[in-house]
Structure 1
Amino acid sequence: MLGNISDIDLRMLRVFCSIVEAGGFTAAQARLNTSLSRLSVVVRDLEERLGCSLCRRGSSGFQLTEEGQELFDMAQLLFGDIERFRQQANRLGGLARESLQIGTVDSLISLECAPLPLAVRLFRRRLPEVRLNLHMLRPDELEQAVLEERLHLAIGAFHHQLSGLNYQPLFEEEQNLYCSADHPLFTRADTCLSLEDICAAEYVGRGYMTENQRPHGLHFTQTVSAYAMEAIATLVLSGAYLGYLPTHYAAHWVSRGQLRALLPERLAYRSLFHCITRQGQEPKTALAGFIEALEEARQQLADAG
């Protein structure tokens, strides 16, 4: 039985709702970037707090109990009420107290077609009273934060589309596979390189991407994980690993002879970036204004390019 509702209770409820929205523990594992055992512990603790069973797992798949379905429905109402309270409390002081929580992935600043800097400038001209907060997170963290209404809007390259979110295409970013000047493959001409040679090297992957999302289906013998572009670049520059980096981000080191793209005509790919917002969230002056500024910035940059 619940007594006072704590922050821990709210976090457990959000995890439970994410599992339900994902359709089960396995699907929620990548979405929440945590282990199955950790998810099981959270749900078990929540069941112990409530004194009832919330779901069943077995050969028939993930199923909610009647109590689980009722809790999920109540939690959705609760989180909606929390957001409405926050918005209404902000309105007590008028628009001057309204804030907008925006999220993005890292290392976009050198991409000329990325519209965020121009969008911020346009937005600030029109709504200077609104407090703008910018958060830098991984793609999976951005999606979760928007679903949980900790962010109003986020920009990133997302490798699946989750129910409960709106995805609006914005721009593309080219990616290449790089090695550093200290790597054995650096001096090998592309004509002397095979996929077998490349896959035999150690590789640094993006920890938030699953194996089946790896570019071109490449299967490396040995891999390590990193969770930010600077972390990947650091490991690639060490000379110990190959890794994918955005072309614009790597250009500085390429121009200095420190990095080289491997088989770019064959192994390059393009990531599609989206703006995501939560489905069903109440219209908000600041959010609508930022979405409008973002689209205007995207169009201006596309026309200029």
Structure 2
Amino acid sequence: MTARHPNVPNLTDFDLKLLRVFHAVVQAQGLAAAQQVLGLSLSTISIQLKQLEERLGFTLCERGRKGFALTEEGERIHKSLTPLFDSISGFRDVVADVRGNLSGDLHFGVVDALATNRAAPLPKAFQNFSECAPGVHLHVDISSPEELLQGLLEGRYHCILTPVEPSHESVESVPVFTERQQLYCGADHPLFHETDSSRIAEALEHTTLTDKSYASLSSTDNPRTPLEGPIVSHMESNALLILSGRYIGYLPKHYADHWVEEGLMRVLLPDTPGFESQFYLGTSKHHCSRSTEVFRNCMVEVLSPPQAS
């Protein structure tokens, strides 16, 4: 018989709900910042934290005019929540497997600016998965590569699609497709009307380039390195900076095409190949449910390039 700890309440569904509220508040670094994530008012979040503290018998965090800060007890409880939630999710997956059903929730994280990439038909993969697992609720979240990997490691994502190879030992990654990127400037940039390639190449040494927070642009095929500029984590923010006319930067060709057609951008040095960005599909080696395996297979089937016969 398992020994019970005196004065420690049994966990109920209500307690788990309160713990998830606490976890969300910590992740958001405060009650106010967690309102949008939880869809709750500030007063409701405060009441639920108080209820949790009363249930546990100690204070989890300091909140007020001095800001949000975890107590020592709160830090210990928060560190235990990810394995707790993973265990609950894993148990549900086991029950679903025993029943022969694919059910529950599957959280997929992906970078932005892929909807226009015909080499990456994500909608087809989603369609196939929906047919294979109609009982699974698919959640799709767009985030930066750094946040995607962190979310996978923390169990917030079951599967991620990223242009950075997940090199962590607990992550299994599969290369899927590549994406060609070229160097662009906006219509208001001084180089927009320059046609001489040698002059453009020379001017790049004194031109400010946007840089991605997750990847190096160094390549033997790239032009000489311009001045360092703003660091971005999303293609959308990169495009906005390029459109400002103050910076040049690399964008996927499929993503920039419509701005080029409208005369708002142009490719600099069109005779150079740019570079290929390799994308990877990542899943956890330790927490991969049958639903995740089916989803991964659906993704690989449509995203991987056809093998030469």
Residue 163 of structure 1 corresponds to 169
TM-score computed with the length of structure 1 as normaliser? 0.68
Counterparts of 2:191 and 2:165, CA distance in 1:
29
CA gap of 1:280–1:96, structure 2 versus 1, over 3 A, is closer
Q: Could you tell me the percent identity over the aligned residues?
A: 28
Residue 104 of structure 1 corresponds to 110
**Aligned-residue offset at 1:147:** 0.8
CA gap of 1:159–1:90, structure 2 versus 1, over 3 A, is closer
Render the CA deviation track for 1:189-244: whole Å, top value 9, x for unaligned: 243335441131122222x236xx13337543351123321111111111111011
Amino acid at match of 1:291: R
Query: What secondary structure does 1:193 align onto?
Result: helix
Counterparts of 2:153 and 2:270, CA distance in 1:
36
**Aligned-residue offset at 1:88:** 2.6
Tell me if the contact between 2:165 and 2:279 (Cα under 8 Å) persists in the aligned partners.
Answer: no
Residue 293 of structure 1 corresponds to 298
TM-score computed with the length of structure 2 as normaliser? 0.67
Residue 42 of structure 1 corresponds to none
**Aligned-residue offset at 1:106:** 0.4
Counterparts of 1:286 and 1:89, CA distance in 2:
11
Structure number with greater Rg is 2
Out of 73, 87, 91, the residue aligned to residue 90 of structure 2 is 87
Counterparts of 1:280 and 1:265, CA distance in 2:
46
Query: What secondary structure does 2:281 align onto?
Result: strand
Specify which structure has the higher proportion of helix: 1
Residue 176 of structure 1 corresponds to 182
Equivalent runs, 1:1-305 vs 2, <5 Å: 7=23, 49=72, 79-89=82-92, 95=101, 98-158=104-164, 161-206=167-212, 208-209=213-214, 213-216=216-219, 219-266=225-272, 268-281=274-287, 283-298=288-303, 302=306
CA gap of 1:9–1:99, structure 2 versus 1, over 3 A, is closer
Residue 62 of structure 2 corresponds to none
5+ residue gaps, structure 2, are 1-7, 9-18, 28-68
Amino acid at match of 1:164: S
Counterparts of 1:223 and 1:256, CA distance in 2:
25
Render the CA deviation track for 1:18-75: whole Å, top value 9, x for unaligned: xxxxxxxxxxxxxxxxxxxxxxxxxxx99x938xxxxxxxxxxxxxxxxxxxx9xxx6
Counterparts of 2:153 and 2:228, CA distance in 1:
34
Counterparts of 1:226 and 1:10, CA distance in 2:
25
Counterparts of 1:265 and 1:274, CA distance in 2:
28
Amino acid at match of 2:299: L
Tell me if the contact between 2:191 and 2:200 (Cα under 8 Å) persists in the aligned partners.
Answer: no
Tell me if the contact between 1:91 and 1:97 (Cα under 8 Å) persists in the aligned partners.
Answer: no
Counterparts of 1:141 and 1:190, CA distance in 2:
41
Query: What secondary structure does 1:296 align onto?
Result: helix
Counterparts of 1:296 and 1:119, CA distance in 2:
8
RMSD: 3.4
**Aligned-residue offset at 1:178:** 0.3
Tell me if the contact between 1:215 and 1:269 (Cα under 8 Å) persists in the aligned partners.
Answer: no
Amino acid at match of 1:285: R
**Aligned-residue offset at 1:182:** 1.4
Tell me if the contact between 2:214 and 2:233 (Cα under 8 Å) persists in the aligned partners.
Answer: no
CA gap of 1:194–1:124, structure 2 versus 1, over 3 A, is same
Aligned residues: 243
Tell me if the contact between 2:162 and 2:279 (Cα under 8 Å) persists in the aligned partners.
Answer: yes
Tell me if the contact between 1:175 and 1:270 (Cα under 8 Å) persists in the aligned partners.
Answer: yes
**Aligned-residue offset at 1:185:** 0.6
Query: What secondary structure does 1:215 align onto?
Result: coil
Counterparts of 2:230 and 2:301, CA distance in 1:
40
**Aligned-residue offset at 1:295:** 1.9
5+ residue gaps, structure 1, are 12-44, 51-70
CA gap of 1:262–1:302, structure 2 versus 1, over 3 A, is same
